[in-house]
């Protein structure tokens, strides 16, 4: 029996503004995923690296992830969900990359995270 091959997952986080992503979304992600597993956090580049080699990347414009592979995206907003109107082009671009390169099953590729 062959060993299970682990992939480095790249998870994009999309929100209305970089401030919302950095202050609220990454805080919630750290709490959900267990903050002790974070091995590196770069506020300058907007990335969180976990001990299992997965990483969360803040996506606020298309140039941020041009040429990158995405396995999953987390779309963050408050209860109004204006992010779908304000970042429609970015979300569509991320969905296209997911359809081409993701190793995550389709039903888990896009997650909505409601922020307080």
Percentage of residues of the chain with pLDDT beyond 90: 15
31-62 burial, b at 16+ Cβ within 10 Å, e below that, comes to: eeeeeeebeeeeeeebbbbbeeebbbbbbbee
**Low-confidence residues in the chain, pLDDT < 50:** none
Are the beta carbons of 85 and 92 closer than 8 angstroms? no
Q: What is the pLDDT of residues 60-82, one digit of tens each?
A: 776 666 667 889 999 988 888 89
Q: Is the pTM of this model over 0.85?
A: no
CA 14, CA 25: separation in Å to the nearest integer? 9
**Domain boundaries, given as residue ranges, for the chain:** 10-114
Q: How far apart are CA 51 and CA 34, in angstroms?
A: 11
Considering the domain 10-114 in this protein, what is its CATH number?
Answer: 3.40.50.300
pLDDT of residue 88: 92
Site of tokens 């690296």: 49
| 3-class DSSP assignment, residue 13 | strand
């Amino acid at each position: 029996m062959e060993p299970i091959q682990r992939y480095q997952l790249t998870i994009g986080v999309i929100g209305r503004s970089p401030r919302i992503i950095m202050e609220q979304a990454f805080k919630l992600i750290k709490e959900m995923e267990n903050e002790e597993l974070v091995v590196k956090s770069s506020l300058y580049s907007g990335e969180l690296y976990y001990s299992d080699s997965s990483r969360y990347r803040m996506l606020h414009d298309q140039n941020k992830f041009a040429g990158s592979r995405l396995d999953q995206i987390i779309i963050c907003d408050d209860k109004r969900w204006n992010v779908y109107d304000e970042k429609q082009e970015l979300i569509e671009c991320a969905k296209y990359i997911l359809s081409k390169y993701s190793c995550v099953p389709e039903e888990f590729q896009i997650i909505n995270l409601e922020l307080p």
